Structure 1
Amino acid sequence: MSIRPITTTDWPAIMAIQAQCYVELTPESLGVMQSKWQASPTSCVVFEQQDNVLAYALVHPWLQGDAPSLDTEISGQINADSWYLHDMAISPSAQGMGIGKKLFNHIVNQAKNLAINGIGLVAVQGAHTYWLQQGFKPNTTSAKLTKSLDSYPAGACYLYLSLS
């Protein structure tokens, strides 16, 4: 088992996992997903076992208290003070193996080593309970964030984990 940066050959597996995991929203396009990776290739990772990708996490720089709209490519210089955990998904066949916790710990350790202030995310499909257990807290919602959240399914909520 290993966690490593995403490579170009991982995308078919990543897209398959995304399609299997997200039932309340339309999966994002390959171009959108890859734009997150291209924005921060060293913080976007996969979890693999015996050369099989079982999970992935797309993490990129962003501002605390804000989130990119769903299904929107990002590009160019990003004005950021934090990381944004855009997506973390585990193949249904690998759920219950502790992979989510391992991926999350990897992301947090990497962020701390780089003196990142914190990590924001938008929880969907009832995942907010999991993220609250990991130490994330609700954050104040600006008009800009509210507009971004409108692109997500009902019940989506922005959460933030301070690392400083």
Structure 2
Amino acid sequence: MTRDVRIRRIAESDWADIVTLEAGAYTALGLTEGRAVLESKARVSPATCFALDVVPGASTGRPAERRLGGYLLALPYPERSYPGLARREEVVFHSRKLHLHDLVIAEDLRGRGLGRLLFRRLAGGARRQGYEQISLVAVGGSHTFWSANGFTAHPGIADPGDYGPGSVYMTMALAPDRVGDPAPVGGLLSGAPSRDEVG
């Protein structure tokens, strides 16, 4: 599948598909944000936000058009804080912490390691740009997955009014590696495919 995948920066033409993917992942949790809010998060840090293109029929030999199969939004954010869901981001924070706000893979493409590819791109780029830590707010029970993959929970920081009941603020240190594209402390993501590609 990886030869049929391309990770790139988000383009203006991606936003309608991103909004559709985001709604599919988060509507049931009551956590959708809307296009303007999502765009604002990417606008403050375009180098840490990615689109994932796939060619679904390429491996079968059938002609197919490239489509948006997922996206990732991350932005620098102060220690022990996170972006609000309904708030547009206008300030570029100068922080050593990068906040992974959104990672969504289309439902029909989950379980193929595409979320892992997006996360590896983020972690490798974050290291090269001098970030020391990645944070996120785990929702929908995904905190157990993120814990198993090197993230540490910090109870009491995430407001359930912002991200829903059971939301957990988590961080992972980025260990510098002198060779290649280093892995996060705790290793690369692994776990239940349905959980590793939304959160």
Normalization by structure 2: what TM-score? Answer: 0.76
Moved more, 78-87 or 35-44: 78-87
Match of 2:164 in 1: 153
What secondary structure is seen at the aligned counterpart in 1 of 2:48?
coil
CA contact (8 A) 1:64 1:160 kept: no
In structure 2, the residue matched to 1:5 is: 9
Residue of structure 1 equivalent to 2:54 = 49
Q: Bigger CA drift: 126-135 or 151-160?
A: 126-135
1:30 equivalent to 2:41? Answer no
Please state if 1:122 is matched with 2:137: yes
Please give the per-residue CA displacement for 1:112-155, whole angstroms capped at 9, x wherever unaligned. Answer: 111201111000011112211221101364xxx45x55311100
How far 1:77 moved relative to its partner? 3.3
From 69, 75, 85, the counterpart of 2:100: 85
Q: Name whichever structure is richer in strand by fraction.
A: 1
2:31–2:163: 8 Å Cα contact kept in structure 1? no
Aligned position for 1:96: 111
Percentage of identical aligned residues: 28
Unpaired stretches in structure 1, ≥5 consecutive residues: none
Match of 1:40 in 2: 45
Give the drift of 1:79.
3.9
Q: What is the root-mean-square deviation of aligned Cα atoms in Å?
A: 1.5
TM-score, with normalisation over the residues of structure 1?
0.91
* Structure ranking higher on relative contact order (CA contacts 8 Å, 6+ apart): 1
CA distances 1:90-123 after superposition (whole Å, capped 9, x unpaired)? 1101111111111111111111111201111000
- Residue equivalent to 2:21: 17
1:82–1:120 contact (8 Å) kept in structure 2: yes
Query: Over alpha carbons, which structure has the higher Rg?
Result: 2
Q: Name stretches of at least 5 consecutive residues in structure 2 with no aligned partner.
A: 56-65, 176-199
Distance in structure 1 (CA, Å) of the matches to 2:149 and 2:127 = 15
Mapped contact 1:64–1:119 kept (Cα < 8 A)? no
Residues matched between the structures, number: 160
Match of 2:122 in 1: 107
Q: 1:137 aligns with which of 152, 170, 176?
A: 152
